[in-house]
Structure 1
Amino acid sequence: MSCTTIPSKIMAKKSTTEESKNFLSNRNRAFESFHRQSFPFRNSIIRYISKNPASPKIYQKLIKSCKYFFVENPVLLTTKLRYNFKWKAEFNGIRKEVKIDNLPCKLWITSDIFVLAFSEKTVVSSIVSKIYRCDSESLTLQRQTISSDELLILSSNVLALCLVEVIVTNRNGSILVFEKLFNAHTKVMAFQFTFPSSTSTINAKTVKELIKIPHFKNLNKFSFWKVPDIFDIEGFYAYTKKNKHTRFRLYFADTISEGYKKRLNTVIDEILEAKDPNYRPFSIHFNGINSEKEAQLRNMSVKI
């Protein structure tokens, strides 16, 4: 009994209201000739293969070889998923709008996710239930409130993680502290985090706990934005003298006190006086910093 392939139209139709109907119509037509297959293997083996493809490439080969595999596990492969007032996904290099609520299949994301939202605080949560698998190596979220479980579905494989004013919650609804957030992302190589204005995820012990995490020292880049003055700048400075690999950048909140600015200036002066330190200096920015000193720090952090 021969197997027939799924038309490529199934993989890349626009999901606007009208084209969603076309998608379903094409899908239904494609399956009109579908019938049960008689494989020379046990059903349990075939079912396992259909539900657990090892890679996107293997999944595509399966569904092109036989409609059965798509019926058993209907998944659309997309390299990129974007949100900016509406969801768009990239199929075979072509970006198309998708209506998440009407999507008849789940998504397998292979490259990156970018969510730019302003007032829609939970829009990213709406996509989580529609994801079959996420192999994304880059994730950017802005102004979202998301549970730690939902975040890990999206970020478990990321190498570059950017969270802009994102609030991550525990299962009981409490705010996840930053060091635990970072600790969950063992593969990340570039990390950028902007603190939410409404809440703080760090305390006086954050730096001490953060530097205990084994993969923290493996980072290529680490950027903190809107850092509050509870941040242990002296402890962090002491650590950077031992880490010659990571490029650190700290951008402090406008609300930091004058006393804290004096502490920052003390650290800056000590770094600059060293002239040729045997470690990578970190760049600092805050409202009122001497622009010449800031430029010197930035240049030193790049050269080493």
Structure 2
Amino acid sequence: MIKNCKYFFIKTPILVISDLIYDRNGWETEVNKTLKSIDINTISSKLWITYQLCICQRNFTNNSLASSIIPKIYQCDATYLSLSDQVITLNEFIILCSSVIDLTSHQVTVKNDDGTVVLFEKLTKQLPKLKSINYTFTTPSNNTSKKSFEELWKIRHFSIYDYVRLFSIPEDFNIDCFYSFMKVCI
């Protein structure tokens, strides 16, 4: 509808972009296979992200960039999501991850409405389309429990992931349970 009808944009101003990337150069998007800088604050239209959202500069001084982009998003159909050093709410996480197949999460803290940290297994449960995950636990880790892996094992779609890579695994993560799980899956 957006591509075929110029009047649709006038009535509902939505910019369809495949990639939205934030790195040391600021916000960028791909136009004709070239990254172009954009000033996100001057865009009055909502954004429809169709392929990738990447907030990938590490050691941010601004850990709320992901949260600040949420009001600008009309729809996020990104299949690839990469977040680094961010603090977001569970609702924001769900908005960003609704279509994600490949997730990279480095030192990202997801919080409930009451300010408590969402456990890793609860995040995983929210991602039924996920096939690949690179996940670095926050340090010190407060998003796991002694039963984290036992809970992960109960999630049906977790066993069909193509790729799981976990970093900075906390000491209370049950590695024996993980090993048993891997033996069954392989």
TM-score bracket, shorter-length normalisation: over 0.9
1:167: how far off? 0.2
- Amino acid in structure 2 at the alignment position of 1:121: N
1:98: how far off? 1.8
1:94: how far off? 3.5
Write the deviation string for residues 162-203 of structure 1: whole angstroms up to 9, x where unpaired: 100000001111100010000000000001110111332111
**What TM-score do the two structures reach when normalised by structure 1?**
0.58
Q: What is the match of residue 279 of structure 1?
A: none
Unaligned runs of 5+ in 2: none
Q: What is the match of residue 78 of structure 1?
A: 17
SS in 2 for 1:154: helix
- Does 2:140 correspond to 1:187? no
Mark the structure with the bigger radius of gyration. Answer: 1
Please give the alpha-carbon distance, in whole angstroms, between the structure 1 residues aligned to 2:100 and 2:178.
Answer: 25
Please give the alpha-carbon distance, in whole angstroms, between the structure 2 residues aligned to 1:198 and 1:121.
Answer: 17
Of structures 1 and 2, the one with the larger relative CO (CA 8 A, separation 6+) is: 2
Q: What is the match of residue 36 of structure 2?
A: 96
Please give the alpha-carbon distance, in whole angstroms, between the structure 1 residues aligned to 2:41 and 2:140.
Answer: 30
SS in 2 for 1:101: helix
Contact 1:142/1:164 (<8 A) preserved: yes
Please give the alpha-carbon distance, in whole angstroms, between the structure 1 residues aligned to 2:86 and 2:111.
Answer: 11
RMSD of equivalent CA atoms: 1.2
Q: What is the match of residue 110 of structure 1?
A: 50
Counterparts in 2 of 1:237-276, with a 5 A limit?
237-244=179-186
SS in 1 for 2:19: strand
Please give the alpha-carbon distance, in whole angstroms, between the structure 1 residues aligned to 2:167 and 2:95.
Answer: 25
Please give the alpha-carbon distance, in whole angstroms, between the structure 2 residues aligned to 1:93 and 1:109.
Answer: 16
Q: What is the match of residue 170 of structure 1?
A: 112
SS in 2 for 1:209: helix
- Amino acid in structure 2 at the alignment position of 1:136: A
Write the deviation string for residues 128-179 of structure 1: whole angstroms up to 9, x where unpaired: 1101111111000000001111111111101001100000001111100010
Contact 2:141/2:170 (<8 A) preserved: no
SS in 2 for 1:59: coil
1:93: how far off? 2.9
**What TM-score do the two structures reach when normalised by structure 2?**
0.94
- Amino acid in structure 2 at the alignment position of 1:131: I
Q: What is the match of residue 4 of structure 2?
A: 61
1:62: how far off? 2.1
Aligned counterpart for 2:170 among listed residues 212, 217, 228:
228
Write the deviation string for residues 108-136 of structure 1: whole angstroms up to 9, x where unpaired: 11111111232211111111110111111
- Amino acid in structure 2 at the alignment position of 1:195: F
Write the deviation string for residues 255-304 of structure 1: whole angstroms up to 9, x where unpaired: xxxxxxxxxxxxxxxxxxxxxxxxxxxxxxxxxxxxxxxxxxxxxxxxxx
Identical amino acids, percent of aligned pairs: 33
1:81: how far off? 0.6
Contact 1:77/1:91 (<8 A) preserved: no
Please give the alpha-carbon distance, in whole angstroms, between the structure 2 residues aligned to 1:238 and 1:158.
Answer: 27
Unaligned runs of 5+ in 1: 1-57, 245-304
**Residue correspondences, number:** 183
Write the deviation string for residues 38-93 of structure 1: whole angstroms up to 9, x where unpaired: xxxxxxxxxxxxxxxxxxxx321122xxxx21111111111111001311112343
Aligned counterpart for 1:155 among listed residues 97, 101, 114:
97
Aligned counterpart for 2:151 among listed residues 180, 185, 209:
209
Contact 1:137/1:160 (<8 A) preserved: yes
1:102: how far off? 1.6
- Does 2:76 correspond to 1:134? yes
Counterparts in 2 of 1:233 and 1:199: CA distance versus 1, 3 Å = closer
Contact 1:145/1:166 (<8 A) preserved: yes
